[in-house]
Chains A and B, each alone.
Chain A
């Protein structure tokens, strides 16, 4: 039986592999075996460290030494000095850019980690179905502190000082919202948790409810105490069965422990939580539509004012906050507003959870301080673009947001900077696109979604988005005209200006931002009848290059519609009228004879 004394962990992430980490791995293995250390030292590859800029990374365990930018030829020195003699190789240690000092122990270089988990603090750490594990991580201590040591006004003041803004997309200051609702007079008020997560590609609210449901329950109770509500309602989509189940378990446990119900923490404060299910309509994320849906009415928005803080659920003052917003609250109370306000950018405090998806290596759920750049998120934490392709754009804010490009990569992202760049924070979906994505098709994809999800109440959204979608379809088919471009833009502004709720007011954003950032691509579709990324099927032709074709018949045999003709060992031809542009011939040709025109 072997018991290794030392482990060398070599990063095998895509970024590090591009800078020769595989050769480095082999060199280290070779050195280890040459020095006869195979039974004591193990060299292995790991996943991405999220620090690709300084790759390749080698981490030595158990002493946690963190070497950066290690070259294959450094293997000799690492083995000879560090492994055999126990002396760290200083020149390979990470240098703290602020102090210019070498950092030898990765435990003391937390600053290299670009992520900070506040809302996700317990996700992946505790058993969500065990309240004691939540309590062991200071769970319900914030509620205890609020109820026994603070007045509602003091808690609200703390929330205002923290600078927490609504994580559902709007970015409205949470403390201010609580204050407004607390000032409304009524015999009953409500705390509503908006768990109707509808953006395609966003799943942070589900993850929080599945991984740490108690944090939301605790925060709702704190909110109830502040605004003077004894009832809370979680509005959650029925498509989240596991989140619902874990939330129910958590609610039951909290009641058993006396953390929900009457006389919480021996005070006269009482609070109950109820669940309402949504059927998954996107528009029900809008708070007035959400409230109507909770009341059993059609999920349609209504004009504000009156705001829910004055007249909401059952016409009582109602405070609606998103799941991620709530998940931040207990930490703010426990650690103090000043601590929270020290993280983030000037006007957006704390962190934001993003769901990274699309053409990115490390698809995942990440949480970064506000003010982190897109470049850090995509190229460090996300590990860069899949298959070494070129970055083209990133869609933030889902169907309400916009596409940001190369030139936006160094913007420090927060609520305001994203809006200024023509996109928005939204709920934090981030879909990364590479050079193969056609931006006109992307705009159309989001419009397909909005057309489907428009509730139909007001004409600009119901009819306008449909017309936008039709125009985009026309352009994708190569039938668009320059006049369509003007129409697209004008109609987009009309829809934005005249729609009743956030859905319509933001739905043309993907169109406007792609037109702004990728205008030449629109022109190529209209003027040249070409799709530069080769995505719009109507605009591309598969052709066989006579010079390269050897007549192997592979293409003809694999064509599902028999569009390819030609003798064995003779040149093959694709009949354009029959071709359905599936690309099977291109995939099967071993002689690079098939190409897209």
Chain B
């Protein structure tokens, strides 16, 4: 592991991560990746997020859909746990609530494969610091 010793080192890491991310998100090529974030705080896990995450990883693999599934912290929508955020290449992220294995299956088949939306999308209702 190389040590970070300056602001420039930090900026290099930032740039390389951003390059990776934008390649994932913005490219419109068919083999580009779908990105899924699963809210995995204690409360999410308690309501089944881990099962959903495992299901997504296995099923996307079985169905040969190139996707990156990562965990993240609390999105704040406790009333709708488990929640996941799906970003299709070139599109805005969408948050789905009340996701169980059945719903995850529908999300893969309808939204990820065809871009068809599902009932129960949670609109983002906050601003982040980038906008300010």
Contact = CB atoms under 8 A, between A and B. Distances in A.
Interface of A: 1-4, 7, 9, 11-12, 42, 44-51, 59, 61-62, 110, 113-118, 120-130, 132-133, 135-136, 138-141, 144-145, 148, 203, 206-208, 210-212, 240, 242-243, 256-259, 263, 265-266, 331, 335, 339, 343, 361-367, 381
Nearest to B19: A136
Given A48-B125, A124-B75, A331-B129, A42 B10 contact: no
Nearest to B91: A62
B119 A44 contact: yes
B127 A116 contact: yes
A82 B1 CA distance: 55
Contacts of A203: 43
Interface in B14-44: 14, 17-18, 21, 37, 39-43
B70 to A, nearest CB: 5
Interface of B: 1, 3-7, 10, 13-14, 17-18, 21, 37, 39-43, 45, 70-80, 85, 91-92, 97, 113-123, 125-129, 131-132
A266 B91 CA distance: 41
Contacts of A50: 123, 125
Contacts of A42: 116-117
A185 B42 CA distance: 41
Nearest to A45: B119
A116 B42 CA distance: 23
A438 B105 CA distance: 44
Nearest to B96: A47
B41 A206 contact: yes
A115 B75 CA distance: 13
24 contacts: A2-B114, A4-B115, A11-B123, A44-B118, A45-B119, A110-B127, A113-B127, A115-B125, A117-B128, A124-B37, A124-B75, A124-B85, A129-B71, A148-B6, A148-B7, A207-B74, A211-B72, A212-B73, A240-B42, A242-B41, A242-B45, A258-B4, A339-B132, A363-B79
A312 B114 CA distance: 60
A47 B97 contact: yes
A404 B131 CA distance: 33
Given A9-B121, A127-B72, A207-B74, 9 more contacts: A3-B114, A12-B119, A46-B122, A113-B127, A115-B125, A123-B75, A257-B1, A257-B3, A265-B4
A144 B6 contact: yes
A62 to B, nearest CB: 8
A203 B73 CA distance: 13
Nearest to B85: A124
Contacts of A208: 73
Nearest to A239: B42
8 shortest interchain CB distances as A-B pairs: A211-B73, A258-B3, A115-B126, A50-B125, A124-B75, A136-B17, A47-B122, A123-B73
A123 B42 CA distance: 13
Contacts of B115: 3-4
Given A128-B73, A364-B78, A366-B76, A211 B41 contact: yes
A133 B70 CA distance: 11
A7 B128 CA distance: 25
Given A47-B97, A50-B123, A135-B17, A120 B41 contact: no
B42 A206 contact: yes
Contact of A207 (B5, B14, B41): B41
A59 B123 contact: yes
Given A118-B129, A141-B10, A44 B43 contact: no
A207 B74 CA distance: 6
Given A47-B121, A110-B127, A124 B72 contact: yes
Contacts of A114: 125
B112 to A, nearest CB: 13
B74 A141 contact: no
A122 B132 CA distance: 15
A211 B74 contact: yes
Contacts of A45: 119-120
Nearest to A42: B117
A273 to B, nearest CB: 17
Contacts of B70: 127, 130
B7 A265 contact: yes
A9 B123 CA distance: 9
A391 B116 CA distance: 38
B120 to A, nearest CB: 6
B125 A144 contact: no
Contacts of B40: 210
Contact of B117 (A9, A118, A122, A331): A9
Contacts of A266: 5-6
Q: Which of B40, B71, B76, B117 is packed against the most chain A CB atoms within 10 Å?
A: B76
A331 B128 CA distance: 12
Contacts of B116: 2, 4, 42
Nearest to A57: B123
B131 A110 contact: yes
A4 B120 CA distance: 18
A65 to B, nearest CB: 14
B120 A125 contact: no
A116 B132 contact: yes
Contacts of A240: 42
Contacts of A145: 7
Contact of B125 (A49, A122, A211, A265): A49
Given A138-B14, A266-B5, A115 B127 contact: yes
B4 A259 contact: yes
A460 B86 CA distance: 54
Contacts of B13: 132, 135-136
Given A9-B121, A46-B122, A258-B5, A120 B76 contact: yes
B114 A367 contact: no
B43 A335 contact: no
Q: Which of A62, A203, A339 is packed against the most chain B CB atoms within 10 Å?
A: A203
Given A1-B114, A135-B17, A242 B119 contact: no
A240 to B, nearest CB: 7
Contacts of A47: 77, 80, 97, 120-123
Nearest to B74: A207
B28 to A, nearest CB: 13
A250 to B, nearest CB: 12
A458 B97 CA distance: 48
A136 B115 CA distance: 28
A291 B45 CA distance: 32
Contact of B129 (A121, A133, A256, A259): A121
A558 B132 CA distance: 59
